[in-house]
Structure 1
Amino acid sequence: MRAFLFPGQGSQKIGMGAELAAASAAAREVFGEVDEALRQNLTALMREGPDDRLTLTENAQPAIMANAIATLRVLEQDFGVKISEKADCVAGHSLGEYTALAAIGAFGLADTARLLKLRGWSMQAAVPVGEGTMAVLLGADISQATALAEAAAQGEVCEVANDNDPSQVVISGHTAAIERAVALVKEHGIKRGMILNVSAPFHSSLMAPAAERMAHALAATPPKAFTLPLYANVTAAAVTDPDEERALLVEQVTGRVRWRETILAMRSHGVESFVELGGKVLGPMVGRIDKDAQVRSLITMADLEAFAKEIA
Structure 2
Amino acid sequence: MRAFIFPGQSSQKVGMGAELAASSIAARDVFDEVDDTLRQHLSVLMREGPEDRLTLTENAQPAIMANAIATLRVLEHDFGVKLLEHANCVAGHSLGEYTALASVGAFGLADTALLLKLRGWSMQAAVPLGEGTMAVLLGADVEQAKALAEAAAQGEVCEVANDNDPSQVVISGHTGAIERAVALTKEHGIKRGMILNVSAPFHSSLMAPAAKRMAGALEETPPGALMLPLYANVTAAAVTDPAQITALLVEQITGRVRWRESVLAMRADGVESFVELGGKVVGPMVSRTDRDAQMTSLVTMKDLEAFAKEIA
The interval holding the TM-score normalised by the smaller chain is: over 0.9
Letter in 2 for 1:94: S
Letter in 2 for 1:73: R
Q: Which residue of 1 aligns with 2:142?
A: 142
Letter in 1 for 2:104: I
- 1:13 and 1:93 map into 2 onto residues whose CA distance is 17
- 1:282 and 1:157 map into 2 onto residues whose CA distance is 26
- 1:27 and 1:12 map into 2 onto residues whose CA distance is 17
1:46-125 matches, cutoff 5 A: 46-125=46-125
- 2:128 and 2:283 map into 1 onto residues whose CA distance is 33
- 1:23 and 1:64 map into 2 onto residues whose CA distance is 19
- 2:86 and 2:188 map into 1 onto residues whose CA distance is 44
Deviations for 1:66-108, whole angstroms, at most 9, x for unmatched residues?
Answer: 0000000000000011101100000000000000000000000
- Alpha-carbon shift at residue 195 of structure 1 (Å): 0.2
Q: Which residue of 1 aligns with 2:248?
A: 248
RMSD: 0.3
Q: Which residue of 2 aligns with 1:270?
A: 270
- Alpha-carbon shift at residue 20 of structure 1 (Å): 0.1
Normalising by the residue count of structure 2, what TM-score does the alignment of the two structures yield?
Answer: 1.00
- 2:209 and 2:36 map into 1 onto residues whose CA distance is 28
Q: Which residue of 1 aligns with 2:17?
A: 17
- 2:284 and 2:292 map into 1 onto residues whose CA distance is 12
Letter in 1 for 2:274: F
Letter in 1 for 2:44: A
Q: What secondary structure, in the 3-state scheme, does the structure 1 residue paired with 2:146 have?
A: helix
1:191-270 matches, cutoff 5 A: 191-270=191-270
Q: Which residue of 2 aligns with 1:293?
A: 293
Query: Percent of counterpart pairs with the same letter?
Result: 84
Q: Which residue of 1 aligns with 2:158?
A: 158
- 1:31 and 1:140 map into 2 onto residues whose CA distance is 39
* Gaps in structure 1 of 5+ consecutive residues: none
Normalising by the residue count of structure 1, what TM-score does the alignment of the two structures yield?
Answer: 1.00
- 1:56 and 1:234 map into 2 onto residues whose CA distance is 24
- Alpha-carbon shift at residue 193 of structure 1 (Å): 0.2
Letter in 2 for 1:112: T
- Alpha-carbon shift at residue 219 of structure 1 (Å): 0.2
- 2:169 and 2:60 map into 1 onto residues whose CA distance is 22
Q: What secondary structure, in the 3-state scheme, does the structure 2 residue paired with 1:90 have?
A: strand
- 2:250 and 2:287 map into 1 onto residues whose CA distance is 29
Deviations for 1:233-289, whole angstroms, at most 9, x for unmatched residues?
Answer: 000000000000000000000000000000000000000000000000111110000
Deviations for 1:1-54, whole angstroms, at most 9, x for unmatched residues?
Answer: 000000000000000000000000000000000000100000000000000000
- 2:217 and 2:101 map into 1 onto residues whose CA distance is 16
- 2:85 and 2:217 map into 1 onto residues whose CA distance is 31
- 1:184 and 1:298 map into 2 onto residues whose CA distance is 38
* Gaps in structure 2 of 5+ consecutive residues: none
